Homo-oligomer: A and B are copies of this chain.
């Protein structure tokens, strides 16, 4: 109990300081913010030794705890990875500052001039797992967009994140911005997340980035608005009018180029009129790349070696070299399947038919809908938005890649000359 009260006090203190720092940061010039980002990048390079030392402690604990080699790899910092973090900050410097942009302005009949201006959201609580580079990306994006950030990383990376947070805070201090703009919760007590989610007086937005259970926990318990980065059950539909060579290239890219990410394809839908021509070649390419195929009955008539897909398969984000395949009789059946089983993340059609392409774009309601391109393109860099803090699966505020603009909100600014309301 005493611990909880202590933790509560610590978190409220962090949140209050974030609120105060955020108000100062919101007024900072682009020049000042960019200077802070450059100092952060320089310090990461200069303190490489210290960062590797801190990381070493996490790695030792991870090995003792028997973490998988994949997890240990994600946790590992190297000189090269630290340099990449610094370069990432320098990329953010180059992006235009969204704060202060007046998106539109108009004049009313009574002479009022009304403008819609971008302002920072305020204080952002960021809850994430493992990779320490995410700490730097998130801090950099928030500083540039004028938001204070409270970081709550995974306990397995606590030493790495602490060292990084120290370096960032020192750089902020040297730049003349408040150190409290970027704060890390150093307690690894699980209760800290629950407490954080109730601090709606001081925190304006919670972004959880991690596994489904973490995201669900946050959504169910937060009194603060949440922008989720939930699952991606992404589809490619190969239409009867597809260029089948293009379809195979796109499917291979969507499945195997990086299977562990949210915009990778999980389910392939194929029109029955081209299934017999398309699937055998795809089988060779996919199995050649180590992909396991689980098909519907019609698929297995064409690919008898394929495993049988169950109802669960259509609802599963494998994040792995597994692909479920369904043969459909029409584009409507394909769209119905996507609507029923998909997660409205990234879905693609391959077709040379104009009407089919337009219908798919119109009727599939996902954060990004593609014609003749890989679902893997649903990404802030690929869309040309610059860096991203994640890909929103929310319908509110922003959908898809969340970059600097999406880290702002708006206010109306109104220039009058004595107008009153009648």
Query: Which residues of A approach B to under 8 Å, CB–CB?
Result: 23, 26-27, 106, 108, 112, 114, 119, 121-122, 200, 204-205, 219-220, 223, 225-227, 243, 246, 249-250, 252-254, 257, 339, 357, 361-363, 365-374, 376-378, 382-384, 394-400, 409-421
**Residue from A226, A250, A394, A419 whose CB has the most chain B CB atoms within 10 Å:** A419
Decide: A26 and B365 in contact? CB cutoff 8 A. Answer: yes
Contact B373 A414 (CB under 8 A): yes
Contact B367 A383 (CB under 8 A): no
How many copies of the polypeptide does the oligomer hold?
2
Contacts of A420 in B (CB 8 A): 249-250, 252-254, 257, 373-374, 376
Interface centre among A361, A373, A384 (most CB of B within 10 A): A373
A412: contacting residue among B226, B383, B395, CB under 8 A = B383
- Contact A411–B400 (Cβ < 8 Å): yes
Please state if B412 and A114 are interface contacts (CB–CB under 8 Å). Answer: no
Q: Complex formed: what's the CA distance from A200 to B218 in Å?
A: 14
A384 to B27, CA, bound (A): 29
**Are B416 and A410 touching (Cβ within 8 A)?**
no
When distances are taken between beta carbons in the complex, the residues of chain B under 8 Å from A253 are 420-421
User: What are 15 A-to-B residue pairs whose CB atoms are below 8 Å?
Assistant: A27-B362, A112-B382, A114-B384, A121-B395, A249-B418, A252-B420, A357-B415, A365-B411, A369-B413, A371-B415, A372-B418, A373-B414, A374-B421, A378-B412, A400-B412
Contacts of A112 in B (CB 8 A): 373, 377, 382
Residue of B nearest to A107 (CB): B384
Q: Is the interface of A mostly helix, strand, loop or mixed?
A: mixed
Distance, CA A223 to CA B219, complexed state (A): 6
Q: Are B372 and A416 closer than 8 Å at their CB atoms?
A: yes
Q: Considering the chains assembled together, what is the distance between the CA atoms of A396 and B410 in angstroms?
A: 9
List the B side residues contacting A394 at CB < 8 Å.
225
- Chain B residues with Cβ under 8 A from A200's Cβ? 219
Cβ-defined partner of A361 (8 Å) among B23, B384, B413: B413
Q: Are A377 and B414 in contact (CB under 8 A)?
A: yes
Distance A118 CA – B26 CA, assembled complex (angstroms) = 29
| Complex Cα–Cα for A122 and B344 (A) | 12
A373 contacts across to B, CB distance below 8 A: 112, 414, 416-420
> CA–CA, A372 to B415, complex, Å?
7
Q: Are A383 and B416 in contact (CB under 8 A)?
A: no
Question: Are A418 and B246 in contact (CB-based, < 8 A)?
Answer: yes
Question: What separation, in Å, do the CA atoms of A370 and B223 have in the docked complex?
Answer: 30
Contact across chains for B339 and A414 when beta carbons are under 8 A apart: no
CA distance A6 to B395 in the complex (A): 30
Tell me whether A371 and B416 are in contact (CB under 8 A): yes
A122: chain B residues at CB < 8 Å are: 395
A361 CB to closest chain B CB (Å) equals 5
Query: Which residue in chain B gives the minimum CB-CB distance to A219?
Result: B223
Contacts of A108 in B (CB 8 A): 382-384
**Residues of chain B within 8 A of A397, CB atoms compared:** 396-397
Provide the bound-state CA to CA distance between A27 and B364, in Å.
Answer: 10
Chain B residues within 8 Å of A384, by CB: 106, 108, 114
- Are A366 and B225 in contact (CB-based, < 8 A)? no
The interface residues of chain B lying within 8 Å CB-to-CB of A362 are: 27
Q: Which 4 A-B pairs have the closest CB atoms?
A: A373-B416, A253-B420, A368-B412, A376-B421
Q: Are A366 and B411 in contact (CB under 8 A)?
A: yes
Q: A114-B384, A204-B395, A396-B396 are in contact. Are A369 and B412 (CB under 8 A)?
A: yes
Choice from B220, B377, B418 contacting A223 with Cβ under 8 Å:
B220
Kindly report which residue of chain B lies nearest to residue A400, judged by CB atoms: B412
CB distance from A412 to the nearest CB of B (A): 4
Residue of chain B at shortest CB distance from A23:
B339
Nearest chain B CB to A184's CB is how many angstroms away? Answer: 23
Give the most central of A365, A396, A399: most B CB within 10 Å.
A396
The verdict on A395 contacting B409 (CB below 8 Å), with A225-B225, A372-B416 known, is yes
Q: A374-B421, A421-B253 are in contact. Are A368 and B411 (CB under 8 A)?
A: yes
